[in-house]
Structure 1
Amino acid sequence: MNRLVLAKVLTSPLRQGGKQWTPKLVRFNSTVATESASKPVKKMVTYMHPTAPLSSFNTALTSQLRTRGGPKRVLENVLKIVNEIKRQNLRLDLDSYNAVLIAYSRAKENRSVMRTFDEMKQDNVEPTLDTYNIILESLVGFADVQSQTRIKNEMKEKKIPFTSHTYYHILHCLCKADELEYALDTLEEMKKSGVQPNLRSYAVMIGGCLRLSDPTTAFDLLKEAESSGLAVESQPRVYMDVMRVGAINDNLDIVNYCWDKAVGTYSLRPDEGTCLNVLRVAAKMGETKLATDVIRQLSNSGYPYKEHYFTPLMEAFTVKNDLKNAFNVLDIMRVSGIPPSMRATLPIRKHLDRDVEAIDQAYYLLEEMKKEEKTVDISAFNVVVGACADAKDIERTIATYREAGNLGVVPNVDTYNAVLEACIQTRMKDMGIVVVDEMKKAGINPDLETYNKMISLACTQRNYEDAFTYLEEMKSYDIVPPESCYAKLANKLAYEKDPRFHMVLEEMETFGYKVTPRIRRMWNTESTY
């Protein structure tokens, strides 16, 4: 409505006998979006004849509801018109009250909605279905189930029939309040009354299942919507919601079904978090095809390859006891520009889990790959060496380490660190020194982990002076020793009652490490050595 015309309404009294302008009968339909609103306008039908005293005011009210602007500003203008109506000693009718209810609802002023509704009945203005739907929708934003129940009961007492929109608002409010059981009962009531649930009702129910982590109910609702002949394809994100709740609860059947629909059929692009959840389920259940599809989808969606995308695929192969393909994943990672770290190989290492026979079989697979002229990735070799160390088998560890050349791999710092771990497990200090010497001859610089392990190895001996040598060597390279180094050394010094224990604690504090009461108590208690 033109602002000049509205200003005239607000500043000039209406003439009962004449016309200031000729308003037209205005009708709203909640299913049609207006040019001025970002969401559909709530349904409101005006019943007043254009010549009635309130006609011009109601026209102004409906025009305000259609104007562009924030809900608060629209409400302010609506209330100005209402004040003018009251100033002229006119009484608000059904159209007026419905307009005010809509304005309050959009401004999210729930208390004012209910207050206006009570005033409406006090003025003997009988609410209609439109009125009740406006109120029910306003209650959704506040999850006000108590007020909703009051409105619902009142509608039943007055025998006002519920429509699919009425039930939708009721279900939406219940789900937002996490009253899923009550919502399911209401859905059954809806069907028994002969009102066919629409797709929006199913969607909002599935959203409630997602919040409450109920995959079975979510999937049942989805299948019910499909079997009811509803155009689920018009809202394919419903499949995404069901897939999310299925993934959270490790339900592979639901995840597979919804992934095929959402991604395969409707070409939706799940976000990274959803993909990672699906990857986790695929890894746990050994679904290598699904894991591969998810990694491909992540790439298609523009996410650069990351190490933790491939780790679940590796785990899925280990679940299927397909260690050879798990090794192949490491080579795929390197070709994709993601050099695997020792952390990436944890699924394989966990699969071997100190089982000497399984470790030997893993080594034979590497030999087989070499015979087939396939690349043996250094990470695959390192994980076998590391598994030998986990089994505390120093002979097997060294023997495997010596076979690097025959497998066509060149040991790296992770290889030597894995061998050092075996030396720690067996307290073989001399072998550790040999490994470090070979490492240096190969032109490979020790890293933080190497020094950490050498200090740990020195602390397994009666003569642990080398631990201080390694500590000082680290600092000479401007490397701040990690807290774990100091903790290990402090533990050894406390066990030996070496007074340098206190010096180590002081140095820890110098580097900003917190010296806990447990560490301080080491001096007066038995150590783990």
Structure 2
Amino acid sequence: MGEKINSTVANETGKHTLFHPTASLTNYNNQLISLVRSRKSSPESVLKKVLNIVGEMNSQKLRYDLNTYNALLAAYARAKDQTNVTETLRKMEEEGVSPTTDSYNLIMEAFGNDKNIALQNRLKEEMQQKGLELNSVTYYHLLRGQQNNIELALETLEDMKKRGIEPTLLTYSLLIRSCRAKTSNTAFNLLKEAEEKGLPVQNEPRMYFDVLRLGTRRDEYEMVNHCWNKAITEHSLRPDEGTCLHVLRVAAKKGDTKLATDVIRQLSTNGYPYKEHYFTPLMEAFLVKDDLKSAFNVLDIMRVSGVPPTMNAIYALREKLSKDIKTIDKAYYILEELRREKKAVDVTAFNVVVAACADAGDLERTISTHREAENLGVKPDVDTYNAILDVCIKARVDKMDKVVIEEMKKANISPNIDTYIKMIELSCNRANYEEAFSYLETMKEYGILPPERCYALLARKLSYNKDPRFHLVLEEMETFLF
């Protein structure tokens, strides 16, 4: 039959092969090595199978050799069983089996799993005392143990280089993962060092994305731009949505419209449907470059892409315009220019100019801009009229709101929640504030839960006037859990 007679219970679920009682140590070791090299089973399952085989070896009184001990060390290390790792090392030395660099690397792995730096350093000293050569695997496990101490890890990297041991791609990846936001520049330097050494960083895409995310947290434009171009443009890697949004924010802040456009294109390529907050950073990037016309064009791009822009989308544009009357006028002239070029003027672009006039408290400009809607080919919507109500509040213009409401009715435009909030605020600014109650009840009739601000405005007015209905309003607020 030969030396190895198999009584097979092996199958794909991982049960091991039983050997004839006369099977040699080599046969057992081969199976042990096969088990510890396999990544199909959990470390605990592998350890159990290894111990079963070792039990058979013990029953045959077979003496362990270096391969046996190394397999045991590997199984214990991956199961994070430090106690038995230490015991196995002690036993092999008692049996006169000298641990090799590979043996110590397996022990280093166990203590690296637990971030036990002190024990790792002791093992390193033992290796040096025994004249064992430290290699890249030794240093990899040392660095794993030092992941929470980047300063120490960098010292270890330098020690590694001094010994003439070239850091591997995994070494750099590990070090980069050890970096936090405050050490983002360190991570970037490590990445560039790996690239300069000609290491295939694209095979470890996490490195680019780790550095990219660190860069976005610190608004490090150069870092973000480099990683994006390398990872996505050059190596066609696929970033997640969250990473893209962080890059968009950095691009907006720097005014890099090309990067912002690339990110939006990548989001679409990745299968994400267009959303409003994808486009607002592009608009903001144009604003940083003081390119108002292109910022307005983004609104048209949004609408063509199936994302009708809301007033939330133009917050940054509105804020920029409202700070300076000259900028408001410049924006209006751009709308006229678009009209002359036979291009459609987006109603949201028109609204932002009206709203900016209102924010500046310029009643005359607000009304006159609104009156130009027809000349610009724009049909005012509810946001247009809400902007006019804003200037009425700011300038404390009395009765103008009634004119606005009448115009809305003629244009068949229904008020929204913002409209009602503004109408209530205008009512509360008057000596006679009864209409505020009427607006509140109208909202309820339409099935709209009045926002807390409506009640807060009314309660403040009632309190100031010592109106006994103050307590009724408070009770209603409590009912709605405000």
TM-score where L is the length of structure 2: 0.92
- Pair 1:144 & 2:125 matched: no
The 5-angstrom pairing of residues 196-275 of structure 1 reads 196-209=166-179, 211-275=180-244
- Pair 1:69 & 2:38 matched: no
Q: Could you tell me which runs of 5 or more consecutive residues in structure 1 were left unpaired when the two chains were aligned.
A: 15-19, 24-53, 515-529
Question: 1:293–1:152: structure 2 CA closer, same or farther, 3 Å change rule?
Answer: same
- Pair 1:332 & 2:301 matched: yes
Distance 1:270 1:215 in 2: 19
**C-alpha displacement at 1:279, in angstroms?**
0.5
State the one-letter code of the partner of 1:206. Answer: I
TM-score where L is the length of structure 1: 0.84
State the one-letter code of the partner of 2:136. Answer: S
Aligned to 2:149: 179
- Counterpart pick for 2:431 among 462, 469, 482: 462
**C-alpha displacement at 1:121, in angstroms?**
3.6
3-state SS of 1:261 partner: helix
**C-alpha displacement at 1:291, in angstroms?**
0.6
**C-alpha displacement at 1:432, in angstroms?**
1.1
Aligned to 2:13: none
Contact 2:184–2:215 (8 Å) recurs in 1: yes
The 5-angstrom pairing of residues 49-64 of structure 1 reads 54-64=25-35
State the one-letter code of the partner of 1:143. Answer: K
Distance 1:230 1:7 in 2: 41
Distance 2:295 2:196 in 1: 41
- Counterpart pick for 1:195 among 162, 165, 179: 165
Distance 1:133 1:272 in 2: 39
Distance 1:424 1:93 in 2: 89
- Pair 1:103 & 2:75 matched: yes
Aligned to 2:343: 374
The 5-angstrom pairing of residues 489-528 of structure 1 reads 489-510=458-479, 512-514=480-482
The 5-angstrom pairing of residues 21-40 of structure 1 reads 21=23, 23=24
Aligned to 2:3: none
Distance 2:456 2:254 in 1: 39
Question: 1:486–1:115: structure 2 CA closer, same or farther, 3 Å change rule?
Answer: farther
Contact 2:322–2:357 (8 Å) recurs in 1: no
**C-alpha displacement at 1:69, in angstroms?**
3.5
* CA deviation string 1:99-158 (max 9, x = no partner): 111112232334433343344344443211111111222333332323222222222222
Q: When the two structures are aligned, how many residues end up with a matched partner?
A: 471
State the one-letter code of the partner of 1:468. Answer: F
Contact 1:385–1:397 (8 Å) recurs in 2: yes
3-state SS of 2:146 partner: helix
Aligned to 2:127: 155
Question: 1:2–1:286: structure 2 CA closer, same or farther, 3 Å change rule?
Answer: farther
**C-alpha displacement at 1:411, in angstroms?**
0.5
**C-alpha displacement at 1:314, in angstroms?**
0.3
Distance 2:271 2:449 in 1: 38
Aligned to 1:388: 357
- Which moves more between the two structures, 329-338 or 200-209? 200-209
- Which moves more between the two structures, 427-436 or 84-93? 84-93
Aligned to 2:388: 419
Aligned to 1:408: 377
Distance 1:308 1:291 in 2: 12
* CA deviation string 1:399-458 (max 9, x = no partner): 111111111101101111111111111222311111011111110111111111101111
Aligned to 1:289: 258
Contact 2:116–2:145 (8 Å) recurs in 1: yes
- Counterpart pick for 1:170 among 142, 154, 161: 142
Question: 1:115–1:387: structure 2 CA closer, same or farther, 3 Å change rule?
Answer: farther
Distance 1:222 1:64 in 2: 35
* CA deviation string 1:195-243 (max 9, x = no partner): 111121112212222x445221122112222222333344344333322
Contact 2:215–2:224 (8 Å) recurs in 1: yes
- Counterpart pick for 1:134 among 95, 102, 106: 106
Contact 1:269–1:301 (8 Å) recurs in 2: yes
**C-alpha displacement at 1:78, in angstroms?**
1.6
* CA deviation string 1:363-416 (max 9, x = no partner): 111111111212111111111111111112222111111111111101101111
RMSD between superposed Cα atoms in Å: 2.1
Contact 2:382–2:415 (8 Å) recurs in 1: yes
Question: 1:69–1:231: structure 2 CA closer, same or farther, 3 Å change rule?
Answer: closer
Aligned to 2:319: 350
- Counterpart pick for 1:482 among 451, 470, 482: 451
Question: 1:82–1:470: structure 2 CA closer, same or farther, 3 Å change rule?
Answer: same
Contact 2:113–2:144 (8 Å) recurs in 1: no
What stretches of structure 1 move > 6 A for 4+ residues in a row?
Answer: none
State the one-letter code of the partner of 1:405. Answer: E
Distance 2:68 2:88 in 1: 11
Contact 1:213–1:248 (8 Å) recurs in 2: no
Contact 1:75–1:104 (8 Å) recurs in 2: yes
**C-alpha displacement at 1:56, in angstroms?**
4.6
Question: 1:339–1:504: structure 2 CA closer, same or farther, 3 Å change rule?
Answer: same
Aligned to 1:79: 51
**C-alpha displacement at 1:87, in angstroms?**
4.7
State the one-letter code of the partner of 1:270. Answer: P
State the one-letter code of the partner of 2:92. Answer: M
**C-alpha displacement at 1:272, in angstroms?**
0.8
Question: 1:119–1:493: structure 2 CA closer, same or farther, 3 Å change rule?
Answer: farther
Instruction: Give me the identity figure in percent.
Output: 56
Question: 1:122–1:501: structure 2 CA closer, same or farther, 3 Å change rule?
Answer: farther
State the one-letter code of the partner of 2:222. Answer: D
- Which moves more between the two structures, 491-500 or 117-126? 117-126
State the one-letter code of the partner of 1:189. Answer: D
Distance 1:3 1:505 in 2: 80
Q: Could you tell me which runs of 5 or more consecutive residues in structure 2 were left unpaired when the two chains were aligned.
A: 1-5, 11-15
Question: 1:396–1:8: structure 2 CA closer, same or farther, 3 Å change rule?
Answer: closer
Distance 2:363 2:90 in 1: 84
**C-alpha displacement at 1:4, in angstroms?**
4.6
Question: 1:228–1:388: structure 2 CA closer, same or farther, 3 Å change rule?
Answer: same
Question: 1:442–1:160: structure 2 CA closer, same or farther, 3 Å change rule?
Answer: same
- Counterpart pick for 1:276 among 226, 245, 258: 245
Distance 1:413 1:80 in 2: 77
Distance 2:336 2:418 in 1: 29
Question: 1:296–1:59: structure 2 CA closer, same or farther, 3 Å change rule?
Answer: closer
Contact 1:427–1:461 (8 Å) recurs in 2: no
Question: 1:401–1:110: structure 2 CA closer, same or farther, 3 Å change rule?
Answer: farther
Question: 1:122–1:424: structure 2 CA closer, same or farther, 3 Å change rule?
Answer: farther
